Amino acid sequence: MGKTFKTGKGPGTLLILLLAGGVTGSVLGALAAPYSPWLKNFTNIGLPTTTLNLLFLQLTFGLNMSLGPLTVLGLLIGFFLYRKL
């Protein structure tokens, strides 16, 4: 019989497609913002930076995401591409 290959429709594929869509949307939004100000990033969401100092080890945690209309559109396109796989 022939070999069967995994389709690659896993959480890693979803993460890559979402990141690619978000980055693409953010870049397009940054390029278009001087011409259409409503396309620029309009909100920041995330966790503030927190540092844990254990004297021999220092860990810093934080996450920040800037969302704009084209970023959200890029994330949605990445999700729909994942669903099409």
Q: Is residue 18 part of a domain?
A: yes
pLDDT of residue 40: 78
**Averaged over 25-49, what is the pLDDT?**
87
Q: Is residue 16 part of a domain?
A: yes
Residue 70, Cβ neighbours under 10 Å: how many?
A: 23
Q: Is residue 1 part of a domain?
A: no
Which one has a higher pLDDT value, 52 or 9?
Answer: 52
| CA distance linking residue 38 with residue 34, whole number of Å | 9
Which residue in 5, 11, 6 sits closest to 82, CA to CA? 11
Judge whether 61 and 52 are in contact, CB under 8 Å.
yes
| Residue-number span of the structural domain to which 20 is assigned | 11-41+63-84
Query: Could you give the count of Cα atoms lying within 13 Å of 2 in the half-sphere of its Cβ?
Result: 2
User: In total, how many domains does the chain have?
Assistant: 1
pLDDT tens for each residue of 74-84: 999 999 999 99
